Amino acid sequence: MKKLLVYLRDYKKESVLAPLFKLLEAFFELFVPLVMASIIDRGIGISGNSDMGHIVRMGLCLLALAVVGLVSAVTAQFFAAKAAVGFSTKLRQAVFEHIQGLNFTNIDKAGTSTLITRMTSDINQVQSGVNMVLRLFLRSPIIVFGAMIMAFTIDVKSALIFVVAIPLLTVVVFGVMMVTMPMYKKVQSALDKVLGITRENLTGVRVIRAFHQEEVEEKRFREQNNTLSHLQTAVARISAVMNPLTYVVVNGAIIALIYTGAVQVNVGNLTQGEVVAIINYMSQILVELVKLANLIVTITKALACADRVAGVLEIPTGEELRVVAGKPVEGDAEETGSASGKPVSEEREEVQGAAGMSVSEGAESQGTASTAIPYLEFDHVSLTYQGAGDRTLQDMHFRVERGQTIGIIGGTGSGKSSLVNLIPGFYPATEGTIRLEGQDIRSMPAQELRRRVGVVPQRAVLFKGTVRSNLQWGKPDATDAELWQAIDTAQAREVVEGKEGKLDAKIAQNGKNLSGGQRQRLTIARALVRKPEILILDDSASALDYATDAKLRQALKEVEKGTTTFIVSQRASTIRHADRIIVLDDGMIAGMGTHEQLLENCEVYQEIYYSQFEKKEKEA
C-alpha cells in the first residue's frame, strides 16, 4: 500500500482536512453526554425541582453541537471523497499506462483477466479503503479513547471497566482482521479465475457451440464459481463473528457500569446524570467499535487488493528490460560461438547442408559484402517463451538489407510468427542479439523502434469507431489523400467505397460488421498509412483470394522502394517472388535462399510447394 500512496500526493490538502474535520466532529460528540448529564442533574433535578431555563439552554447547546457536527461530517466526507476518487483515477491511469508498456511475455504471464480485475475491482476496493480511512481511521480511535478519558474525569472506579473492555474489544477486532486478510487475497484470486473463464467463454462462444461443449463449460464455470462462493462464505462467517462479540463485550461492560453506578449513587459519589453520561460514553464506544470493525474489514480488503495492484506495477516494462538487457553484443560471432553452444562454423555447415548455401553466401548473392553493416541482423537469436520447456526458435542467424522483401514459410507451429514478433520487440530474445543498422534493438527506446516498424498481426483487429479513426492509429494527422493511397495499396477501395460514409463509415467493435478479408485489407492499410521502414505481414492475407493476394503483392512492390518487407505465409505463391525466403522447421532454419534455389536444395520447401502446386502441374 505504501507504494501506492504516491498517487495521493496531489491531494495532500484533502487528505489532511478530511480527518481534521472528522476529529472536530468527534470532539463535539464527546461533549454530548456531559450536556445530557447537566440536563438531568440541574435541569430536571433530583426531587422534581426542574429548571426549564437550564433545559432550554442545554437543549440549544445540543442543537449547536449537532449542527456543527453535521457541517464537519459533510465537509470531511467531501474532502475524503475528492481525495479517494482522485487517487483511484491517477492509480488506474498509472496501471493502464504500465500495462501498455509491458511486453507480450509479461502480459501472457499475468493474464488478461487478472489485469482487468486489478484495474477495476481491486482499484475500486482500494478507493473505498482510502475513503474510509480518511473518514474513520482517526475518528473512531479518538471517540474510543476520548470516551474513556471523559469517563475517568467523571469517576475513576467506573472508568476502570473501560480499561478492561477496550483491550478485549481490540483483541476481537484485530484478531478477526489477522485471520481474514489472507483469506480475502484468496477470494480475489478465485475471482480472477471466474473472470478468466467468463472471458474465455465470451470470446470463444462460437467454438464452444460448434463442438457442443456448453455443458462442459457450464460445469467448469460452476466448479470455479462454487469455489469462490465457499471462500466468500468462509471469510464472511469469520467477519460476521466480529459484531456479536463486540456487542457481548460492550453490553457486559454496560451491565457492570449500571451496577457500579447504582452503588456509587447510593453512597453519594455519583449523580444519576453522571451515571447516564458514563453509560452514553460506553454506548459511543460500542457504536464506534462497530464502525471500526467494518472499517477493518474494508481496510483488510483494500490492503489485499493494494498488494495485487502494486504487483502489477512491479512487473518490469519493456523499457526497463531494455535498460537492464540492452547491452550490444560485442566481439566477433565467429569467436563467441552460437546461441546453441556449437561453434559457428559448425552451425553454418548445418545450414549450408539444409538450404544449399550458407547465410554469408546468401548475403553475398544479394550483392552485399558480408563485412558491411547490414540493415537488420539476427545474430544467433533464440527464443524461449515464459514457462516453456524448450526453445521455440533456435539459432536464427541471417542478415537483411534495406528494401529487401523477405518471405517466411514453414509448417504450423514452426515459429514463423515468433520470429517476426522479435523484430518490434514484442518478445525479448532470450539468446543472441537483433541489430537494426548495427544497434541492438534492446538499447533502442520502444517508441523509436515501433515508429520504424509497421505490423499487420495474424489476427486482424479493428477498433470500434470509423474507417478513418482506425487507419489513423499509426499517424493521427494523416490526410485523406494518404489514407486513400494506403487503401488502394491494400486493395480495400471497394470495401471503403461500398460503405455508407466511406472514410467515416462506422466500424463495430473488432470489425464484426466486416468479413475476414475486409478486416485484413483494412489492417494492412492501417500499417501502410504510417509508411514504416519495416513492414511485417504476419499471414495477414490468408482470407484473401489468390487474385486479390497477387494484386496486393504487386502493389506492395510499388510502394516505398526503401521499405523492408517481411511476409509470413503458408502459401508458397505469396512468397515465391521474395528476394529471399527463410524456411522454418520446428523452430530452426531449414533453408534460406530464392524460390529457385530452395526448390533445388531444400526438402522442407519442396514438400510445402509441391503439396500446393502438384495438382496444377500435373494438369498442365
DSSP summary character for residue 220: H
Banded model confidence at residue 48, pLDDT cuts 50, 70, 90: low
pLDDT digits (tens, 9 = 90+) for 23-41: 888 888 888 888 888 888 7
- Predicted confidence at residue 582, as pLDDT, reads 92
- Predicted confidence at residue 321, as pLDDT, reads 53
Count of CB atoms situated within 10 Å of the CB of 131: 22
Strand partners, 406: 566, 580
Measured in whole angstroms, the distance separating CA 420 from the mean position of its chain's CA atoms is 25
pLDDT digits (tens, 9 = 90+) for 512-554: 888 888 888 888 888 888 888 888 888 877 777 778 878 887 8
pTM above 0.75, yes or no: no
C-alpha separations of 123 from 113, 192, 224, 548 in Å: 14, 14, 23, 48
pLDDT digits (tens, 9 = 90+) for 557-602: 777 677 888 988 888 888 888 889 999 988 899 889 988 888 888 8
pLDDT digits (tens, 9 = 90+) for 373-417: 888 999 999 988 877 778 889 889 999 988 888 999 988 888 888
The four Cα atoms 550, 554, 559, 562 give a dihedral, to 10 degrees, of 110
Q: Which residue has the cell 492509429?
A: 473
CB 253 within 8 A of CB 282: yes
pLDDT digits (tens, 9 = 90+) for 67-77: 998 999 899 99
CA atoms of 344 and 377, how far apart (whole Å): 15
CB 146 within 8 A of CB 29: no
CB 419 within 8 A of CB 584: yes
Mention every residue, 6+ apart, whose C-beta is less than 8 A from residue 376: 399, 400, 423, 434, 435, 436, 437, 534, 564
Domains and CATH numbers, the chain: 2-315 (1.20.1560.10), 324-619 (3.40.50.300)
pLDDT (mean) for 447-459: 85
Q: Which residue has the cell 453512597?
A: 267
- Predicted confidence at residue 221, as pLDDT, reads 93
Closest CA to 587 of 435, 411, 426, 387: 411
- Predicted confidence at residue 149, as pLDDT, reads 84
Count of CB atoms situated within 10 Å of the CB of 557: 12
What is the SS3 assignment for 545? coil
pLDDT digits (tens, 9 = 90+) for 328-347: 433 333 333 333 344 433 44
Measured in whole angstroms, the distance separating CA 117 from the mean position of its chain's CA atoms is 8
